[in-house]
Structure 1
Amino acid sequence: MKKIIFFLAITLIFTACKDESKDNGKLNIVTTTTMITDLVQNIGGDMINIQGLMGSGVDPHLYKASEGDVSKLVNADIIFYSGLHLEGKLVEVLEKMESSQKITIALSDALDENTLIGSKYFASNYDPHVWFDINYFQQFAKKVANVLSKKDPENAQKYEANKNAYIVKLETLQNNIKQTIETLPKGKRILVTAHDAFNYFGKAYGFEVVGLQGISTATEAGVQDVQKLATFIIEKNIKAIFIESSVPKRTIEALQASVKSKGHDVEIGGTLYSDALGSAGTVEGTYIGMFEYNVNTIVNALK
């Protein structure tokens, strides 16, 4: 990381005197996670050039910036990231970008801290997985549109129109998933996953959520954690547990084996998208598609 920071500092020195400009008349935008990339693309449309640092299946908790990433960040007009230390190993680089007077936006700053889920085990003291509450993602959309409009006032009306259209889609998503969840008896709404990525989902949609690892995947699950959760699964008669796309499946497989060693069965109900979307070009490669897929997978496996 020190090498990356040094490279960043040198790059910023050599680019400090360059006039800020647009490529092909468009803003150059850099985003971190796939969720943020999809959001900004929906708001910016064809008025922006956008580059996402992270791809499908990438764990933002552990992601390290490359020299290529630094070049993208230095050449950006605006950098959007999630914040709340989700991009843990990128924080130092992003802070350097802020000190260079780049427009660097942590979208979580748009949220009321009093409504966030606290965590004494995480660096920010808040659970960073806020996109699993659609109401928060709507606030993200408004923040993105506002930032883009201020930087590019000529296209402000288009950004506003795109934001309004996207929020309508998010409201439709909200209604659809609530209807799907209503088909699952309340007593079966217990979600066991690889790490604590779904607490906001649980709070918003009435699930008890238990993660094998902590809020950050940098926290390893120990044997006692596995044994304790296996006992919980048996006591609650939970039918299925879930792998996450950005977390190695061995942790959940170990949990399943522990349950079976105690004379009980639990299925792996499928793979959920937690810290990253699905592959680009697929339905699950969008925020809306990911959310619908996750809810359908959870409900069908727990019924």
Structure 2
Amino acid sequence: MTPGVTTRHATAVVFSFAALTCALLLALTGCAPGEDKRPSVVVTTNILGDITRNLVGDQAEVSVLMEANADPHSFGVSAQQAAKLEQADLVVYNGLGLEENVLRHVDAAREAGVNTLAVGDAVDPLPHTSGETAGRPDPHFWTDPDRVAEASRLIAEQIVKDVAGVDEASIKENADRYLTQLDQLTASMERAFARIPAGKRNLVTNHHVFGYLAQRFGFRVIGAVIPSGTTLASPSASDLESLVTAIEQAGVRAIFADSSQPDRLAQVLKRESNVEVKVVPLFSESLTEKGQGAASYLEMMRANTKAISEGLAVG
């Protein structure tokens, strides 16, 4: 073999190796030659994630940190998810102390220069009115669809402002479509709850999570099994005794327990009270997998409206 052929062979080997290396790098990064990285929106909770996906459509990648059926008060993130937060164009989070194990990562992303939106802070939060969290802002604003409509407008505006490369007209079209669906949801909830007499609109839940729904639709929150705005707290014997008394005095017909949480304490209350009450599951803080009853925000609220209406129905 001549020296020239040997040189050409060696050169071909070098180029082949370089091409293979490049291909491997492209596979690992998920990018193709000449393809720009898609804009990225990271959302902490799955409820806000569903809302944001409806607004974004195909204009950006939306990554949701909280899995289906998880508890927003206790879920955590992996190192890879934490890195995604700091690489995002926009981070959308609930705030008001809801994502207790994730907020430090959101703070780190903000300090690294990432745009962030605390949705709960921007939709006129209500204070908790009782229990150990009395006076603190209530993070569960999504039980009021009117506030979700306001949140949707804010998220859409922030996406247009902070996420480079998205089409403003497409975001506006998506937002208008979703806001129409929210208006229809509100109207259907008003019709369903109108059939419940005012004196029977009494709610007892696992923990304080339906304050916004109560204010919007004229319900009275009698109390909660866990007298707190977080599932991480625990009731005392005196808490349970006081709640049993309140249930008996108000003639409460149903105790509403979160479907993702064990209802053992609600069952205890049912046994301890001297009135006949049902324990009715609700989807309060997390969406479910598809086919499990609450795979989207709209589906969750329709299911809850039906459960509350039937649980408090007269007759």
Q: Would you call these one fold, judging by a TM-score over 0.5?
A: yes
Using the TM superposition, give the Cα deviation of residue 25 of structure 1 relative to its aligned residue in structure 2, in angstroms: 5.4
Which structure is larger by alpha-carbon Rg, 1 or 2?
2
Conservation of the 8 A alpha-carbon contact between 2:127 and 2:135? no
Alignment of structure 1 residues 122-161 onto 2, 5 Å: 122=133, 125-150=136-161, 151-152=163-164, 154-161=166-173
- How much identity, in percent, do the aligned residues show? 28
Using the TM superposition, give the Cα deviation of residue 117 of structure 1 relative to its aligned residue in structure 2, in angstroms: 2.4
3-state SS of paired residue (1:211):
strand
State the partner residue of 1:201.
213
1:78-123 Cα shifts (integer Å, max 9, x gaps): 111111111112122211111111112111232235xx22468449
State the partner residue of 1:239.
253
Answer with 83-92 or 175-184: which moved more.
Answer: 83-92
What amino acid does structure 1 have at the position aligned with 2:62?
Answer: I
Using the TM superposition, give the Cα deviation of residue 233 of structure 1 relative to its aligned residue in structure 2, in angstroms: 1.4
3-state SS of paired residue (1:285):
coil
3-state SS of paired residue (1:241):
strand
1:247-287 Cα shifts (integer Å, max 9, x gaps): 3211212211222xxx443211x210111122235552111
State the partner residue of 2:294.
284
Using the TM superposition, give the Cα deviation of residue 230 of structure 1 relative to its aligned residue in structure 2, in angstroms: 1.4
Matched, 1:219 2:233: yes
1:209-257 Cα shifts (integer Å, max 9, x gaps): 1222111112211121112111221222222111102332112122112
State the partner residue of 2:263.
249
3-state SS of paired residue (1:193):
strand
User: Does the C-alpha gap of structure 1 residues 49 and 106 become closer, same or farther in structure 2, counting only changes over 3 Å?
Assistant: same
Question: What is the alpha-carbon distance in structure 1 between the residues aligned to residue 160 and residue 177 of structure 2?
Answer: 16
TM-score under structure 1 length normalisation: 0.85
Aligned residues: 276
What amino acid does structure 2 have at the position aligned with 1:132?
Answer: T
Give unpaired runs (5+ residues) of structure 1. Answer: 1-22
Q: Root-mean-square deviation (CA), in Å?
A: 2.1
TM-score under structure 2 length normalisation: 0.82
3-state SS of paired residue (1:228):
helix
1:20-79 Cα shifts (integer Å, max 9, x gaps): xxx865321211111100100000011121111112221111222322321322332211
Give unpaired runs (5+ residues) of structure 2. Answer: 1-34
Of 151, 164, 170 in structure 1, the residue corresponding to residue 182 of structure 2 is 170
